[in-house]
């Protein structure tokens, strides 16, 4: 999923969860609006409260970061049905001039 696709998805009115797979410190500095902090090492435990039928979009720092790939794999193994990865991560999001929290 690219930046434009993520923005369209966010404006589509669907029920979704955006997961920031970076560590809490990076999340607190800046994250995509509405994202929840779920460091990759804690995804298995922290994802228990998320509806497995919702669309879940996972991201991390950028193209060279594997945390989002690993987190997406964990979610799929746990039975989540609709998991996507925003591979460009926070780097592409910010480079596109998009807002952060």
Positions annotated as catalytic residues are 60
Taking the C-alpha atoms of residue 12 and residue 28, their distance in angstroms, rounded to an integer, is: 26
Pairing, β 36-37 against β 82-86 = unpaired
Taking the C-alpha atoms of residue 57 and residue 38, their distance in angstroms, rounded to an integer, is: 12
């Amino acid at each position: 999923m690219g930046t434009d696709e993520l923005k369209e998805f966010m404006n589509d009115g669907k029920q979704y969860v955006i997961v920031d797979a970076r560590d809490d410190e990076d999340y607190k500095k800046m994250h995509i609006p509405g994202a929840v902090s779920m460091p990759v090492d804690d995804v298995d435990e922290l994802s228990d409260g998320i509806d497995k039928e919702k669309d879940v979009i996972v991201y991390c720092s950028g193209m060279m970061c594997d945390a989002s790939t690993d987190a997406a794999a964990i979610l799929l193994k746990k039975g989540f049905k609709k998991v996507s990865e925003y591979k460009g991560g926070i780097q592409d999001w910010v480079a596109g001039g998009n807002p952060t929290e």
